[in-house]
Structure 1
Amino acid sequence: MRLLLCTDMDRTLLPNGPQPESPGARRLFSVLTTDSRVQLAYVTGRSLPLAEEAIAEYEVPVPDMLVADIGTAIFAREQGAWRRDTAWEELIGQDWRQLDSAALARLLTGLPGLRLQEEDRQARFKLSYYVEPTACREQLAAALAAIFQQRAIRVSLIWSHDEITGADLLDILPASADKYLAVQFLRRRMGFSVDEVLFAGDSGNDLAVLASEIPAVLVANARQDVAEKAAAMAMAAGNADKLHLAGGWLGMNGCYSAGILEGVARYQPAFFQDGISA
């Protein structure tokens, strides 16, 4: 028995949303990750430096693997340092014809409805925008498709909403790079079967994994529209039994790390039957 535990950070593991955190949940999560049978991976929209900041601020475990920038960069922790997986970046770079996000941004200069996010939110293969409230998503998607198709650039458009700021967001990634594809690459590289993986998430950029064949849990603090869409997508894909909507376990509220623990209990209960406790 072993487990590749993959979790989003903000408002999934990190209690930085408006809902309260269950006392002791983060501590129990940390205890779980000390089990030698558990490999921990954070799968986040954060860059490596921002992920490190959060790890220190919230006192969560340093992971074995970090999937950063919404799946466009993968790092392994080796002897106290991070090693970048260049094979992954060479693979996904083919979709962008080896261009980077700055080059793509120049192609979109003047496109109405989009505003570039801050520099620390950009990465080599992640181009991030704020979407103006009055913008029509369908028209934007069509305009973007026309620009990229003309240049044979293959992209994935990830639409999401920041619950804290209220901003609508768009991340443009290589078509071969999102959280789902990165988790699949990671589990194959590490030799895990699909059923030896658990993914935890809360937002729109987690939907591809939440609705997939990978066992997954949506934490209870996720927005209702995300929960409804995740459930509908999982049902349509024939994966309804692979998605658990956290609602409360061991007297906890299912939010943040409590929801992750609930997912482990749902799909890998033996880890708790063996006596892990806070």
Structure 2
Amino acid sequence: MLATDLDGTLVGDKSSLQALLDFYGSQTYKVSLVYITGRHYQSALSLIEEESLPVPDVLITDVGTGIYIGDRLEPDLEWTRRLEKSWMPEKIESIASRVSGLTSQDLPITNRCSYFASDSTVVEAFRSELNKSGIPYKLIYSGGRDVDILPSESGKGQALQYILDKYKLSEAKLLVAGDSGNDVEMLTMGFPSVIVGNAQPELLEQAEHPSIYRAKQKFAGGIHEAWSHFHTD
């Protein structure tokens, strides 16, 4: 199973992507695909079509707050109900409106609150205000400007773990791949993982760990490199 971010990880170089897909197609085993992206559902579908990507077995969107499964990639309602229990987007938006240097991202969704921050001090001021409010939340800061506020039980790592548990996949031959700060959670869960060669600075600063491979190759080439490193059989 390949559980991978899309932009900047699986997607970014067409030739290395095709080489990876050809490699998987030539193996005696089938590689299930889980796409884990910060994009919202329709945007992810558009990218899959634009890049002629294989339709995944599971699509995890919105930094781990949306899960879509099956041949028609329909919502996993159990996951949706789990997150809705403690989710307070209106209160989060109200707090955000009072933080200088924070700009709301215009997205057609309500399962996460997303902003642009002018710098890291703005992010810490926002975090401080959220903590004072007592609202349950998870804050993800990536790319030096993107701030996502998620339900506390969500995130790319928690969504992946949910899928592994739901379908009893703990014994799967797995590789997790990412390139930015919003991938940290899923890359540090102890599964075989790869930071691709073109990763953003905040990910390159992660501590060394035996389960994390730092690829020299970029984009899908880094995934291919790491697969050969972890799964030589």
Match of 2:2 among 1, 5, 23: 5
DSSP-derived class of the 1:241 partner: coil
Percent of aligned pairs sharing the same letter: 29
Number of the residue aligned with 2:188: 211
Number of the residue aligned with 1:275: none
1:58 paired with 2:51, answer yes
81-90 or 189-198, larger mean C-alpha shift: 189-198
Which structure's CA Rg is the greater one? 1
Provide the C-alpha distance between the structure 1 equivalents of 2:53 and 2:171, rounded to a whole number of angstroms: 25
Kept in 2: contact 1:160–1:170 (CA 8 A): yes
Kept in 2: contact 1:195–1:215 (CA 8 A): no
Number of the residue aligned with 2:101: 113
Kept in 2: contact 1:219–1:255 (CA 8 A): yes
Give the Å deviation of 1:13: 0.9
Match of 2:226 among 263, 267, 270: 263
* CA deviations over 1:150-177 (Å, ceiling 9, x no partner): xxx310000011xxxxx61110001100
Give the Å deviation of 1:31: 2.7
Provide the C-alpha distance between the structure 1 equivalents of 2:120 and 2:172, rounded to a whole number of angstroms: 42
Kept in 2: contact 1:116–1:128 (CA 8 A): yes
Per the normalisation by structure 2, the TM-score is 0.91
Provide the C-alpha distance between the structure 2 equivalents of 1:73 and 1:176, rounded to a whole number of angstroms: 12
Number of the residue aligned with 1:250: none
Number of the residue aligned with 2:118: 132
Provide the C-alpha distance between the structure 2 equivalents of 1:69 and 1:186, rounded to a whole number of angstroms: 16
Query: Which structure 2 segments of 5+ residues have no match?
Result: none
Number of the residue aligned with 1:202: 179
* CA deviations over 1:54-89 (Å, ceiling 9, x no partner): 1121222111110000000100132xx221101011
Provide the C-alpha distance between the structure 2 equivalents of 1:134 and 1:25, rounded to a whole number of angstroms: 34
DSSP-derived class of the 1:171 partner: strand
* CA deviations over 1:193-232 (Å, ceiling 9, x no partner): 1663211000000011222211100000012442122xx1
Number of the residue aligned with 1:168: 145
Number of the residue aligned with 1:40: 33
DSSP-derived class of the 1:10 partner: coil
When residues 194 and 94 of structure 1 are mapped into structure 2, their CA distance, relative to the original with a 3 A threshold, is farther
Number of the residue aligned with 2:213: 244
Give the Å deviation of 1:47: 1.0
Give the aligned CA root-mean-square deviation in angstroms.
2.0
Number of the residue aligned with 2:170: 193
When residues 90 and 174 of structure 1 are mapped into structure 2, their CA distance, relative to the original with a 3 A threshold, is same
When residues 44 and 262 of structure 1 are mapped into structure 2, their CA distance, relative to the original with a 3 A threshold, is same
DSSP-derived class of the 1:146 partner: helix
